[in-house]
Structure 1
Amino acid sequence: MMEWIQAAIQWLGQHPGWLSAALFGIALVESLAIAGVIVPGVAMMFAAATLAGQIDMPLLEALLWAGLGAIAGDGLSFWMGRLFQGRLDVLWPFTRYPRLIASGERFFHRHGGKSVVIGRFVGPIRPVLPLIAGAFQMPARRFFTFNILSAVGWAPVYVLPGYLVGSAMALDIQLPSHFYPAMGLSLALLALIYLVFFRLHWGLGEDSAFYRHLQATVMRSERGRKLWQTLSSERPQGSEFPLPSITLMVACTALFALWALLSMETHLLDALDQNTSAFFATLRSPLLDPVAVGITLLGDPALLTLVSLSGILFFWARGMGAAAFHILAAGVTVTVVTTLMKAGFAVPRPEAVSIPPSSYAFPSGHTSGITVVIGLTASFVAQEWPPYRRWTIYAMAGVPILLIALSRLYLGVHWFSDVIGGLLLGLAVCGLTRVSYSRYDRHRLVGNALSNGTMLSVAVTAAGYVLLAYPYGMARYAIAG
């Protein structure tokens, strides 16, 4: 099989005009029911993406073709499930994989519609989940919504590593000595997390096999038992160890280190930054500018400081001094780290607005700041919900973060790499804060007059700030020249 892949890639190198079709076809087969289990799609996609980087195919084009192939593959699997519903256990080739089909059914019953999104990244059951969704009569509109959204996240994960390797080979970049150890450590941590929680299907909740195995292992020693008990919080559903927060902290720190290395030490992301900037520049219009300015003002450091102070006062009034301190510490941490990195990396901003910000570009302070504020708010709210429903809170919290990040790109004050760097940095700080606070998390945030009043004051403060800063914002973010 590997010899065949090598021969196919060699042929594509001689006929690059077929590379787009190859990316589409590989992604389709990788996502197709049962075929994705047999065909080494990951190796094929890495090889094709490497070739795309070597021949300087636009990254967005490579991502587009791979994403479309993944959508088509899952779509075909979904309609196959509709066609053969009730007969999957008696038809070839499904009869050869009864355990795989059964695992997919259990996963679908447990996670419902979002299994289509989660399952795209989950090892062997990934190619059968769309089949199961079709067989269980999931509404087509809902399926394709999840299908398209998950493909947007899947394509970069599968295409970027190979593309960056190919670009580096083509450019023959001379990298500093610290690049390889830092990149190797980051990749090793990410690979371990991916292996444990996706390929081996080990979950993060207290009902998962990995959680129970980790608890049993740690409890064998006195020091481990104290650490577990110290970090665990008492929730309505019982004691809860912050394994998701630890995973978030480690994964985002590793990703940020890797992203910063690629951004600062290589030119692999330059084309992506330039193309993204040019794309958003074409969208500028008098109709969208006021909306983008209003959204981006919601991420201004001054407003985020006022909102954070409201949260600190709220928790202090509730007698939750530890929560107030951790919010303060998170705000100070993300501000100091972002400021120091901007000055240290000294990445120039795009020259697209009349009055560009005086600070440097990487990482985006608006993105890192709003990620910490919204992320911590969501985490306090989600802790009051059962673990299997918390994804709803985090999905809702992602909307304002995404809008503010997009506003920075639309207005032309940040590169794409700046925004991704700010997001990863903010998530890492959120994870660290939640891990540290878990030892004090003994309170429930039930609704009352104080919490309602705090929410109202935050809304009034945000609206007032945007109204006052809006005129200057419009002049500041006007197109240069």
Structure 2
Amino acid sequence: MTGDWLETFTAWVGSHPDWLIMALFATALVESLAIAGLIVPGVAILFALAALAGKTGIGLGEALLWAGLGAIVGDLLSFAIGRRLKDRLHAIWPFSRYPAMIANGESFFRAHGGKSILIGRFVGPIRPVMPLVAGALQMPWQRFVGFNLLSATAWAPAYVLPGFFVGSAMSGSVQPPPHFYPILAAAGAVLVLIYALLLRLRLGVGEGSPFYQWLEQRMAGYDATHRFWRLYTNERPSRRGEFPLPSLMLAIAALSLFLILGQLTPVSDLLQQLDQRVLNWFSLLRQPLLDPPMILLTMLGDPPVLIAGAILASLSLGFRGYYAAAAHIAVAAAVTTILVWLLKAGFAVPRPEAVLHPPLSGAFPSGHTTGITVAATLLASFIAAEGTNRQRWQTYVLLSAPLVPVALSRLYLGVHWFTDVLGGLCLGLAITGLARASYSRFDRVPIRADASTWLALLAWLLFALLYIRSEWVGALARYAPL
């Protein structure tokens, strides 16, 4: 019934494009309005309307502006209602029908203050009530408006861009291949499901979360799935038999994003325009003073440097008896190298014409970004696994930091499009997630650093320095701007 109504609504709006902007505004408003966001399928309608906007040629900035304004107005109305009702919020319909939701919103607001407005835009059951609760608890108007504007700035692209890109691809001059829509639909459905589990419903994927427990019970109901669950469950006593569901979810989500990007990039005029604008912007930044450090950064992501690091890490772990960890690092490096080569040849996206001697391989995905993402995040995952929950996040942030400058160096030097870098990041995260999930069944004892670890690191640094020194003159010539 809902599907028929949604199809009729989008068809009518599609035949009346003058009303499309107002429909975007109204849908975003209702989606953000207290309680109403639970009843109206705002996410589905926004996706359909954004796709229509991309297909009919409405500007992306215009679509983002009106959707963002609708979200801002919806939250402001909710906040005003909360200020008006104050302590009577639990006694007045329809809010009286959702006492647990409002109680959770109040607890969340007291714990996080103004940040709850930002988080509440995206997170499950508290989303429709956070502005309402903020008003009822007498948050100052000025403070609320500031957080409201910040949250809408992030919310509008997250909800509008996916549909807009699909719509722009459907209206492009290039005819999508037959597999375009099935892959797009399957990958999109996976992302929507993950989004619902992690953010909208806040079921979580860690051990002890409702979704984890539900899935464990379902997997135990069949012999084959139960064997799969037990096979990949961590055997460390300190981990209490934890299945690597977060790693699998990371891999599936990143792979879905990669597939969507890979389908849209060749046929979407909008993405191609974005690529060109990013290339033009970075070309304006190029100057002789910045070229040497950017070339140095990009050379740290060269395949010989990354492969040498993988070999040394595998040897260090293997000599100490951590055979499974060594094998997983070696296989991850080999899979990354082969996949990047195959995908570049398969997509055959031409490189930007910005340097004298661009690489001969295809542009999508960025091999440097893929390689440094796998190297940095896989290293971070092995180190973070031995720390507390708080230390894990600090480790991930610190050790994943190198992938940002390496990725930016590819854009600065003009040898990759922006979508190439995004594709490389998604592919790298997918490989890391699968590697960590596979390693879980062998993760029986902690991995500790010793003298061989530091020796391997020193040997890698020495190799990197020798490699950069030997290739420096050639790199300066290759990356010289046209």
Instruction: Tell whether the structures are fold-level matches, with TM greater than 0.5.
Output: yes
Whole-Å separation in 1 of the counterparts to 2:469 and 2:25: 47
SS at match of 2:208: coil
SS at match of 1:442: coil
Q: After the TM superposition, which of the residue ranges 242-251 and 261-270 deviates more from structure 2?
A: 261-270
For 1:190, the equivalent position in structure 2 comes to 191
**Is the Cα contact below 8 Å between 2:125 and 2:202 reproduced in 1?**
no
Once the two structures are TM-superposed, the CA of residue 382 in structure 1 deviates from its matched residue by 2.2
Once the two structures are TM-superposed, the CA of residue 251 in structure 1 deviates from its matched residue by 2.1
**Is the Cα contact below 8 Å between 1:62 and 1:159 reproduced in 2?**
no
SS at match of 2:333: helix
For 1:123, the equivalent position in structure 2 comes to 124
Whole-Å separation in 2 of the counterparts to 1:459 and 1:112: 45
Whole-Å separation in 2 of the counterparts to 1:110 and 1:411: 45
Once the two structures are TM-superposed, the CA of residue 411 in structure 1 deviates from its matched residue by 1.7
SS at match of 1:239: coil
Deviations 1:345-382 (A, max 9, x none): 22110001122112111111011111111111111122
Calculate the TM-score normalised by the size of structure 2: 0.80
For 2:275, the equivalent position in structure 1 comes to 273
Flag the 1:48–1:466 CA change in 2: closer, same or farther, 3 A. farther
Letter of the structure 2 residue corresponding to residue 197 of structure 1: L
Pairwise CA RMSD of aligned residues? 4.3
Q: After the TM superposition, which of the residue ranges 315-324 and 170-179 deviates more from structure 2?
A: 170-179
Q: After the TM superposition, which of the residue ranges 86-95 and 271-280 deviates more from structure 2?
A: 86-95
Once the two structures are TM-superposed, the CA of residue 24 in structure 1 deviates from its matched residue by 7.3
Counterparts of 1:323-342 in structure 2 under 5 Å? 323-342=325-344
Once the two structures are TM-superposed, the CA of residue 179 in structure 1 deviates from its matched residue by 2.4
Deviations 1:251-274 (A, max 9, x none): 222222222122245655322222
**Is the Cα contact below 8 Å between 1:101 and 1:128 reproduced in 2?**
yes
Whole-Å separation in 1 of the counterparts to 2:310 and 2:68: 41
Correspondent of 2:18 among 14, 25, 41: 14
Letter of the structure 2 residue corresponding to residue 122 of structure 1: V
Correspondent of 1:372 among 360, 371, 374: 374
**Is the Cα contact below 8 Å between 1:26 and 1:69 reproduced in 2?**
no
Q: After the TM superposition, which of the residue ranges 343-352 and 120-129 deviates more from structure 2?
A: 120-129
Aligned: 1:431 with 2:442: no
SS at match of 2:241: strand
Whole-Å separation in 1 of the counterparts to 2:251 and 2:378: 13
Counterparts of 1:65-84 in structure 2 under 5 Å? 65=65, 69=69
Whole-Å separation in 1 of the counterparts to 2:435 and 2:424: 16
Deviations 1:166-213 (A, max 9, x none): 324433753332223322322233333333333332211111011112
Aligned: 1:45 with 2:46: yes
For 2:306, the equivalent position in structure 1 comes to 304
Once the two structures are TM-superposed, the CA of residue 297 in structure 1 deviates from its matched residue by 2.1
For 1:206, the equivalent position in structure 2 comes to 207
Whole-Å separation in 2 of the counterparts to 1:396 and 1:148: 26
Flag the 1:362–1:51 CA change in 2: closer, same or farther, 3 A. same
**Is the Cα contact below 8 Å between 1:89 and 1:98 reproduced in 2?**
no
Flag the 1:441–1:13 CA change in 2: closer, same or farther, 3 A. same
Q: After the TM superposition, which of the residue ranges 274-283 and 361-370 deviates more from structure 2?
A: 274-283
Larger Rg: 2
Whole-Å separation in 2 of the counterparts to 1:246 and 1:429: 10
**Is the Cα contact below 8 Å between 1:205 and 1:387 reproduced in 2?**
no
For 1:101, the equivalent position in structure 2 comes to 102
Whole-Å separation in 2 of the counterparts to 1:410 and 1:247: 32
Flag the 1:357–1:241 CA change in 2: closer, same or farther, 3 A. same
For 2:243, the equivalent position in structure 1 comes to 241
Correspondent of 2:404 among 395, 402, 406: 402
**Is the Cα contact below 8 Å between 2:64 and 2:160 reproduced in 1?**
no
For 2:424, the equivalent position in structure 1 comes to 422
For 2:364, the equivalent position in structure 1 comes to 362
For 1:216, the equivalent position in structure 2 comes to 217
Whole-Å separation in 2 of the counterparts to 1:466 and 1:80: 61
Whole-Å separation in 2 of the counterparts to 1:318 and 1:344: 40
Flag the 1:147–1:374 CA change in 2: closer, same or farther, 3 A. farther
SS at match of 1:377: helix
**Is the Cα contact below 8 Å between 1:382 and 1:393 reproduced in 2?**
yes
Q: After the TM superposition, which of the residue ranges 22-31 and 1-10 deviates more from structure 2?
A: 1-10
Letter of the structure 2 residue corresponding to residue 178 of structure 1: H
For 2:232, the equivalent position in structure 1 comes to 231
Flag the 1:471–1:70 CA change in 2: closer, same or farther, 3 A. farther
Whole-Å separation in 1 of the counterparts to 2:138 and 2:461: 43
Letter of the structure 2 residue corresponding to residue 322 of structure 1: A
Q: After the TM superposition, which of the residue ranges 410-419 and 65-74 deviates more from structure 2?
A: 65-74
SS at match of 1:121: coil
Counterparts of 1:341-360 in structure 2 under 5 Å? 341-360=343-362
Whole-Å separation in 1 of the counterparts to 2:109 and 2:210: 18
Whole-Å separation in 1 of the counterparts to 2:243 and 2:138: 35
Deviations 1:91-131 (A, max 9, x none): 97866643223333566789999877765433342344577
Deviations 1:155-175 (A, max 9, x none): 443122321343244337533
Once the two structures are TM-superposed, the CA of residue 323 in structure 1 deviates from its matched residue by 0.6
For 1:181, the equivalent position in structure 2 comes to 182
Q: After the TM superposition, which of the residue ranges 70-79 and 205-214 deviates more from structure 2?
A: 70-79
Whole-Å separation in 2 of the counterparts to 1:299 and 1:347: 20
- Name the % identity: 45
**Is the Cα contact below 8 Å between 1:176 and 1:265 reproduced in 2?**
no
Letter of the structure 2 residue corresponding to residue 242 of structure 1: P
Calculate the TM-score normalised by the size of structure 1: 0.81
**Is the Cα contact below 8 Å between 1:75 and 1:144 reproduced in 2?**
no
Flag the 1:32–1:437 CA change in 2: closer, same or farther, 3 A. same
For 2:258, the equivalent position in structure 1 comes to 256
**Is the Cα contact below 8 Å between 1:104 and 1:128 reproduced in 2?**
yes
